[in-house]
Structure 1
Amino acid sequence: MTDTEKLVHREWSAAESTRRITITNPADGQELFAAPVASPAEVDTAVGAARSAAAEWARTAAAERAAAVHRAADAVAARADDLARLTTLEMGKPLGDARGGVDAGVGTLRQYAELGPVHRGRSLNGGFGATDLMVYEPRGVVAAITPWNDPVAVSCGLIGAALVTGNTVVYKPSERTPATGWLLARILSEHLPAGVLNLLLGDGAVGARLVEQPVDVVAHVGACATGRAIARAAAGTRTKVLLENGGNDPLIIDADVDPEWAAAQAALGAFANAGQICVSVERIYVHEAIADPFLAALAARAEALRMGPGLEAGTELAPLVDRRLREHVHGHVEQAVAGGAKLLAGGDVPEGPGAYYPATVLAGCTDDMAVMREETFGPVAPVAVVGTFDEALARAGQGEYGLAATVLTRDLAHAIRASRELPAGTVKVNNVFGGAPGGAAHPRRASGQGYGYGPELLDEMTQTKVVHLGAPPA
């Protein structure tokens, strides 16, 4: 892999800027490569290339666009092992999990390739001699700014939805996973006309410059601070903004569930991908009737996880993406312990290279602790014991975020109440992860705005026009 190529107008050429970002392997701290940082002029050129190609791509038949995305999906599938390995090298996750993310991205591309040609339109009833049509048209140029924690799956979703609806794309992957984004763009671009997909590598300054350009949609999955900055920048340009940002997702555990099963669900939600999932379990409210056996089972599961490099067979808990995130995670844990929380498992920074952090369980947490109020984004399960389901529901609904929430219960009335009352875009009952293929996600409050997945994302990528067709005079 080269560290000096950029993609604009389907041409790969040397980056103009001499500035580089050094990427290190979070498993051992060794330098992997240096990624170029796009210059302001390169950002402008990429947006210009996407704009120049927009009209022709919009006029391309929907079936032809879909066929191109199908071919691109096949090409991504053929390079799945390479993409998964790069993901693991850059951000650390176990290789099997990384491969699962690539497979999800392939599935999403194929899903949108099927949905694109049948994207909705409708007719309106009017006079007998006339017809009104509501048609959906591409918005133009989409800036897709994607995260590092699941780089292929998220990127394929945003790029695929944009392409099949007739938009062109300027794609900026996270500066923490530039090689994965670089390879994905190279694979996709081979099956698209010039200018339809353009790649920019770089840091937050590159993303800020991109958002300031005359694009029509900014689709961002990532940190809340970045999302707020994008929303402020777009307010003056009337650019359509789609945001899926941070969460502080609660898990409610009712009195009537098996504590061992609940512990398995909590461990999966809090420790999968080392807690680096947008919808990870970030705080737990367990009923006092089962609190003791639940906490014992959760701590045992945390201590049993095998920690190691993502490329090593059998690894269950890989390193965090870097030491900067580890410092943030450990800071939350230290503050909780200082505030009276009891450490039942983990909580220490391992010696040696890499960015490892153990699965950590905290008991006796209170809602004023950062680990309960903010997004920790690490393998930490903070637990608060509650006396009633009403208390759990009230406390779980607090805070500024509204991404997702989960409730474990055998009581149908409690499940229905939770689904109605929890102020989150997604509420899951008796399963911390999962959901039907093609499911939508619509974050609330500080967690974002707009649909980020499912057929509804095609609506976000388009704009409607009502056409009135009247008959000419006889």
Structure 2
Amino acid sequence: MTELMTREDVPGTLEVHDPASGELVGRVTAATEQEVAGAVRAARAAFAVWARTPAGERAEALKAAAKELRERADELAEMNTRETGKLPDDARGGVLAGAGTLEQYAELGPAHRGRSLQGGWDATDLMVPGPRGVVVALTPWNDPVAVACGLLGAALATGNVVVHKPSERCPHVGRMLSELIARHLPLDVLQCLDGDGSVGAWLAECDGVDVIAHVGSTATGRSVAAAAARTGAKVLLENGGNDALIVDADVDPRLAASQAAVGAFANAGQICVSVERIYVHRDLAREFLDALAEEARKRPTEVPMGPLVDERQRAHVHDQVRDAVERGAQVLAGGTLPDGPGAYYPATVLAGCTRSMRVMTEETFGPVAPVQVVGDFDEALAEAADDRYGLTATVLTNSMAHAQRAWRELPVGTVKVNDVFGGAPAGAAHPRNASGEGFGYGPELLDEMTVTKVVHIGLAGG
């Protein structure tokens, strides 16, 4: 995820390399501090017009952008694959999901409404939502189109203007997306700035910004929040997670291993809600571990799995694996740096894990499944809950009582029962603790992007 840098880090030319081959994808020039300030000023000027544009017209612009996004899905997906290593089908799926999100907010925007209040008979009292102003969107590399479309769509549908900085790990696909949407909007309603963490820092500190929406690492999110505390900007954060998977004693261990493998290894473990740590009941631990190691060895020969986003991320993942091994974990699959080009890392299963290991207490964001054996469901629930993050957790169980306890007691924004991925569309949750704050998606994101004004209209002279 994007890291904020100090002011001494002077922006310049950034290179992006294909994580599968190491080949140069392209170069971009990072924005200067003066260009950042200029973009915010231009956005503020554009806000006066866009905020007054009827909601239906804003919606039509988003629908037109979504249509073009679908037409150019292959083009954006190819660039995403080249920049981040995301598998082609997954990359295309992310683009189409982004188009669907733009369409969703195009429909929800005009329906976003206030309330009438019951006041005096000779007066009118209302609660009316309105746009906040200038929104800065700092978006990640692991699903750059889908995530960005959520933030951009909700902000634009409600009459805000946006300055978008995509991750420096995928600047080309981020700019392609912003420019595609911007073609359907008035000048400067949506702008895109290239750059690394220093550009994000300048945006977060810039006067004139009303909302900062950041999806990325916890360290960066805290820097953003600290900057916003000085400027008064509202902050929306979806940050790191250390998502737990509990495998109860009454489930099929092979089916549980299949779920765990999908959760831990999909997109090479680079999903915000990937399974990061596993607690399995001792009665089925051996069979579960054997099946999970078998699932790991299927990747990538039988089940496709791409590289990590770059060598830096691979080094981070391998450091956590080495730390676990040094502290007593056993490697059942993977765990070694492969030969050859690219930032590939094998699907890895670690047994005998404990809380003394970084892989159980920190976000790994790679294809690693660390497993801790527990004596009963109470122990599993306690271990899963004892964490500084609060994004997501999954429970595999045939016990309704255990499922009920899990969703009520786990201090996370989303609890999934018997399915590591999935869920109804338009759901929205609050991440907890180090994982962030505020609704980052769903209809509730429209509330985050707006302010409510109470209006009382009485009779003159009354």
For this structure pair, what is the TM-score category when the shorter chain's length is used for normalisation? over 0.9
Shift of 1:134: 0.3
Structure 2 CA distance, aligned partners of 1:156 and 1:166? 15
Count how many residue pairs are aligned between Structure 1 and Structure 2: 452
- Give 3-state SS (helix, strand or coil) of 2:372's partner: strand
Match for 2:113 among 114, 120, 133? 120
C-alpha contact 2:212 2:235 (8 A) present in aligned 1: yes
**What residue number does 2:345 align with?**
357
The letter of the residue matching 1:30 is E
**What residue number does 1:456 align with?**
444
**What residue number does 1:14 align with?**
none
Answering whether residue 169 of structure 2 is matched by residue 176 of structure 1, we say yes
Aligned-residue CA RMSD in angstroms?
1.1
The letter of the residue matching 1:169 is V
**What residue number does 1:301 align with?**
295
**What residue number does 1:284 align with?**
278
Shift of 1:61: 0.4
**What residue number does 2:221 align with?**
227
Moved over 6 A (4+): none
For each residue in 1:314-343, what CA deviation from the matched residue of structure 2 results, as whole angstroms up to 9, or x when unmatched?
861100000101011001001101111111
The letter of the residue matching 1:332 is Q
Answering whether residue 148 of structure 2 is matched by residue 160 of structure 1, we say no
The letter of the residue matching 1:361 is V
For each residue in 1:69-115, what CA deviation from the matched residue of structure 2 results, as whole angstroms up to 9, or x when unmatched?
00011111111001100000000011000011111101100000000
Task: Map 1:19-418 onto structure 2 (within 5 A).
Answer: 19-213=12-206, 214-306=208-300, 316-418=304-406
Answering whether residue 411 of structure 2 is matched by residue 423 of structure 1, we say yes
- Give 3-state SS (helix, strand or coil) of 2:278's partner: strand
Structure 2 CA distance, aligned partners of 1:104 and 1:18? 32
Structure 2 CA distance, aligned partners of 1:393 and 1:469? 54
Q: Please, which moves more after superposition, 374-383 or 116-125?
A: 116-125
Structure 2 CA distance, aligned partners of 1:92 and 1:404? 24
- Give 3-state SS (helix, strand or coil) of 1:318's partner: coil
**What residue number does 2:6 align with?**
none
Structure 2 CA distance, aligned partners of 1:343 and 1:80? 40
Structure 2 CA distance, aligned partners of 1:164 and 1:390? 45
C-alpha contact 2:11 2:195 (8 A) present in aligned 1: no
- Give 3-state SS (helix, strand or coil) of 1:251's partner: strand
The letter of the residue matching 1:64 is E
The letter of the residue matching 2:107 is E
Structure 1 CA distance, aligned partners of 2:303 and 2:330? 27
The letter of the residue matching 2:406 is A
The letter of the residue matching 1:269 is G
Structure 2 CA distance, aligned partners of 1:172 and 1:137? 24
C-alpha contact 2:247 2:397 (8 A) present in aligned 1: yes
The letter of the residue matching 2:157 is V
Give the TM-score normalised by the residue count of structure 2. Answer: 0.96
For each residue in 1:161-217, what CA deviation from the matched residue of structure 2 results, as whole angstroms up to 9, or x when unmatched?
000000000000000000001111121111000110011000001111111112000
Structure 2 CA distance, aligned partners of 1:80 and 1:54? 29
Structure 2 CA distance, aligned partners of 1:36 and 1:362? 41
The letter of the residue matching 1:288 is R
Shift of 1:471: 2.7
Shift of 1:18: 8.7
Give the TM-score normalised by the residue count of structure 1. Answer: 0.94
Shift of 1:237: 1.2
The letter of the residue matching 1:431 is D
Structure 2 CA distance, aligned partners of 1:185 and 1:108? 15
The letter of the residue matching 1:432 is V
Check 1:315–1:363 CA distance in 2 against 1; reply closer, same or farther (3 A cut).
closer
For each residue in 1:415-444, what CA deviation from the matched residue of structure 2 results, as whole angstroms up to 9, or x when unmatched?
010001000011111111111111113111
Structure 2 CA distance, aligned partners of 1:134 and 1:220? 28
Gaps of at least 5 residues in structure 1 are 1-16, 308-313
The letter of the residue matching 1:106 is A
Shift of 1:120: 2.3
For each residue in 1:120-144, what CA deviation from the matched residue of structure 2 results, as whole angstroms up to 9, or x when unmatched?
2111111122121000000000000
The letter of the residue matching 1:271 is F
Structure 2 CA distance, aligned partners of 1:51 and 1:352? 49
C-alpha contact 1:94 1:315 (8 A) present in aligned 2: no
The letter of the residue matching 2:400 is L
Structure 1 CA distance, aligned partners of 2:174 and 2:15? 15
Gaps of at least 5 residues in structure 2 are 1-9
- Give 3-state SS (helix, strand or coil) of 1:344's partner: strand
Structure 1 CA distance, aligned partners of 2:197 and 2:309? 17
Shift of 1:472: 3.2
Q: Please, which moves more after superposition, 195-204 or 122-131?
A: 122-131
C-alpha contact 2:338 2:345 (8 A) present in aligned 1: yes
For each residue in 1:379-431, what CA deviation from the matched residue of structure 2 results, as whole angstroms up to 9, or x when unmatched?
00000011100000000001210011010111001001000100001111111
